[in-house]
Amino acid sequence: MPNIYDAIIADHDQHRALLNELADTSGDSIKRQNAWNTFYNDVKSHAAAEEETFYSKLISKTWGQDAARHSVHEHQQLDDLMEELNEMDMSSPGWLTKFKTLKHDYEHHMEEEEDEVFTRAKEVIEDSEIEGYGERFEARKKEERGLIEEKKEDSLED
């Protein structure tokens, strides 16, 4: 089983590929719909699992509190963009414009996380403290996949 860093990077690599695939699509095509649905569901479950496993551990460290809060804030901003895209007509020029914003912002978030947050986390969190977190992340991500619609309904009620 991968460690937490490798598990998150593997997801990021898949997300980068999906972002590039989406950028190469046009209109309300089946290819765009399928890529978007895969991206949307995977990123939603990834972010929730990441917050509940990795970021919860970072928050327990003095240094990690600001980094975790910053990343969770970025997750919220990205989530808002994804929800807006989810409600838009995929064939509209506005969809592509907003998607390009999402792509840029998410790529920045992944780079920052992998380069800055992971580097610092590896310095302050002993491997023994997060042993098994890769498995916990994967298991939580799987659970979150089943909660996406329920959480969406809950947020609509707020």
Query: What pTM did the predictor assign?
Result: 0.90
Spell out the residues 6+ positions from residue 124 whose beta carbon is closer than 8 angstroms to its own.
61, 63, 64
Residue 87 has pLDDT above 50, yes or no: yes
When computed from its CA atoms, the radius of gyration of the chain, rounded to whole angstroms, is 16
Residue 14 has pLDDT above 90, yes or no: yes
User: 84: how many CB neighbours lie within 10 A of its CB?
Assistant: 14
Q: How far apart are CA 102 and CA 43, in angstroms?
A: 12
Task: Parse the chain into domains and list their residue ranges.
Answer: 4-157
What mean pLDDT is predicted for residues 63-75?
Answer: 87
What mean pLDDT is predicted for residues 64-89?
Answer: 91
